[in-house]
Amino acid sequence: MTFLIGIILIPIIRKFAILIGAVDAPRERHSHKRVTPTLGGIAIFFSFSIGFFLAPIDKTGFLPVYIGALIIIITGFIDDIVELSPKLKLLGQILAALCVTVWGNVVIEFINVPFYGQIDFGWLAVPISMIWIIAIINALNLIDGLDGLSSGISIIALMTIAGMAVILKDTFVAPVAFLLAAAVFAFLLFNFPPASIFMGDTGALFLGYMIAVLSLMGFKNVTFISLLVPLIILGVPLSDTFFAIIRRLKKRTPISAADRSHIHHRLLALGFTERQTVLLIYCMALLFSLAGFVFSFSTTWGSLLLLGLLILCIEVVVEFIGLISEDYRPVLNILQKIHRKRK
């Protein structure tokens, strides 16, 4: 039902976006070639909301999360219309995160670290949880650079979170994640290249917020290993954001400065088409999600070994596509030297 509501709403929202001038014109950093309406995130939010409130789910305690979502939607909507400054966008994210953590009390209170024991965060629980939410919001927003990219990655992340919640018998996170995935899938039908509508910041901020909150609700107050699971599931946008920060620090440019060196830009520069790039990143996201499943059911030593292999694989991919810079290749250079010696 949520999927069908989305299918009906998206063409209406598309016409509304054109009517009020909420459109994205092609610019230097953009890959699309024509003026495209935004505000697709409004359709995702409405179809999810209708499905959620009609679904037989215990909604106790969800009001703070939903109010936070409304703040995020309003922030994104205003940004899609008049383009807010980074500080005002961050303010909206902070207010939404405060709703969840302070009012809703959805926080990481402690973790159990292997070989050490339990670490209680105390008063740091709220700021740490807020940083978690804001980081994931911005990670998903930053990777929203190609048609269908953020929506596809969001579906993969949500389905993985839902699957794990089913295994953990979480009767709230699982259905909510499935409902949101259905709403995003309806949008993806209109957003896959060539897109006829964009989700805009309205959608990117909302999806990042919901994924962050659902992962926090599903994996809080557990072991350090389990806490890494949502980070692994969101490996593509988070690693892209991390290396973007490293790249900008290396070049001594502002962290908020835009560039054309994100993972999708680098793959396009290597000669892949837009569709091929999107599908490649989907495959990366699926591999991260699979690793997240394996990671959550591994022993401590197995998890640490898998984490080490993941970090090595990420580093090799980063160097191969030039995500930091084209001359940054420490691991590849070592592998080349080993290969030459064997010859």
**Residue 327, annotated ligand binder?**
no
For position 154, what pLDDT does the model report? 93
Check: CB of residue 104 under 8 Å from CB of residue 80. Answer: no
Check: CB of residue 7 under 8 Å from CB of residue 184. Answer: no
Partner residues linked to 111 by β-bridges = 119
Vertex 95: Cα angle to 69 and 76 (nearest 5): 50
For position 202, what pLDDT does the model report? 93
Give the 3-state secondary structure percentages of the chain, helix then strand then coil, rounded to 5: 70, 5, 25
Task: Give Cα separations from 305 to 277, 295, 302 (angstroms).
Answer: 29, 10, 5
Per DSSP, the residues of 143-190 read T--STTHHHHHHHHHHHHHHHHHHHTT-TTHHHHHHHHHHHHHHHHHH
For position 226, what pLDDT does the model report? 59
Q: Which residues contact 170 (CB under 8 A, 6 or more apart)?
A: 217, 218
**Widest pairwise Cα distance in the chain:** 66
For position 115, what pLDDT does the model report? 67
For position 11, what pLDDT does the model report? 94
For position 269, what pLDDT does the model report? 85
Residues 14 and 53: their CA atoms lie apart, in Å, by 24
Q: Which sequence spans correspond to the domains of the chain?
A: 2-342
**CB-neighbour burial class of residue 59 (10 A; exposed 0-12, middle 13-18, buried 19+):** middle
For position 211, what pLDDT does the model report? 93
**CB-neighbour burial class of residue 252 (10 A; exposed 0-12, middle 13-18, buried 19+):** exposed
Check: CB of residue 159 under 8 Å from CB of residue 286. Answer: no
**Tally of helices (H runs) and strands (E runs) in the chain:** 14, 4
Question: CB atoms < 10 A from the CB of 257, how many?
Answer: 9
**Residue 141, annotated ligand binder?**
yes
Q: Is the peptide bond before 64 cis (omega within 30 degrees of 0)?
A: no
- Residue 328 structure tokens: 């940054």
- Residue 219 structure tokens: 């994996």
- One-letter identity of residue 235: G
Query: For the chain, how far is it from start to end, CA to CA, in angstroms?
Result: 61
Strands (E), the chain: 23-24, 36-37, 110-113, 117-120
Instruction: Please list the pLDDT of the chain residue by residue as tens digits (343 residues).
Output: 999 999 999 999 999 999 988 888 766 555 556 788 989 999 999 999 999 999 999 998 899 999 999 999 999 999 988 888 889 999 999 999 999 999 999 988 877 776 677 778 888 989 999 999 999 998 888 887 788 989 999 999 999 999 988 988 889 999 999 999 999 999 999 999 888 999 999 999 999 999 999 988 877 545 555 567 777 888 888 888 888 888 888 877 777 677 777 888 888 888 889 899 999 999 999 988 888 888 777 777 887 888 888 888 888 888 888 888 888 888 888 888 887 877 6
Residues 330 and 52: their CA atoms lie apart, in Å, by 49
Q: What is the CA radius of gyration of the chain?
A: 20
Q: 128: part of which helix (H) or strand (E)? A: helix 125-142
